[in-house]
Structure 1
Amino acid sequence: MTLVDTNVLLDVVTDDPTWADWSIEQLEAAALRGPLLINDVVYAELAVRYERIERLETFLSDAGLDMAAMPRSALFLAGKVFQKYRRAGGSRTGVLPDFFIGAHAAIDRVDLLTRDTARYRTYFPTVKLITPDR
């Protein structure tokens, strides 16, 4: 199973000139290995790009993405890791979703397909990342 980070899906949705091809290739490869998953955080981040829920749901269905509930242990881990990040001088804004996603991948022991590597590698070293710079 592979949890897919929002940035990879936005590459596809926006047809990003730099990353769309890489993201599509990685999604196809990951789908051959097993189910593609997103969680509530990724869903909410994607919703920003859609006017109607039906269009988002169609995209998710067409892409073969399944929703995976975040376990409470992942929510707890996200909070603890975010606390560690803040104590190390990290910013308060814009990063908490990454901690939810990373903690979810860590607790469920699934691969994470993402283009954001530094924070995940630092705070979730047990998560196997699928990234452009593997």
Structure 2
Amino acid sequence: MRAYADFVVEYKLTVEFPNFQDKIYVRDGEELARWWIAQTNRPDTIFCANDEAAAGFITEIRRAKFSVLGDIAIIGFDNTEVANLLDFTTIHYPVDQQAENAFLILQNMLHSTDKTLIPLEYTLIERHTT
């Protein structure tokens, strides 16, 4: 969000874009799709906070007879089974290593240790929506 705000300021853009933070459910993706459909100047790509919201967006767009990829590109985040089933592009991140890091942070705090966190690597999983 900060990068987006900085970009708007740097390039002196006037952008009317609603706040879609904390939108993580299928119904939230459907809401985002209805907003997109109502626009006269539509964004050509949507990046959702997770795959569930992306699935809702894709489903609502298709109901309205728009073409994913033809009319809009969509990217999810999580690389869950729903992304595979609906064949959409997503970002994979190692949730197991993220959980391990959370444990290490707690362990370091509780025992005054300094165990090194695991570097997390994110991977773009390209499918048929970008």
| TM-score of the pair, normalised by structure 1 | 0.26
Highest relative contact order (Cα 8 Å, sep 6+), 1 or 2? 1
Q: Comparing both structures, which one devotes a greater share of its residues to helix?
A: 1
Higher Rg of the two aligned structures? 2
| TM-score of the pair, normalised by structure 2 | 0.27
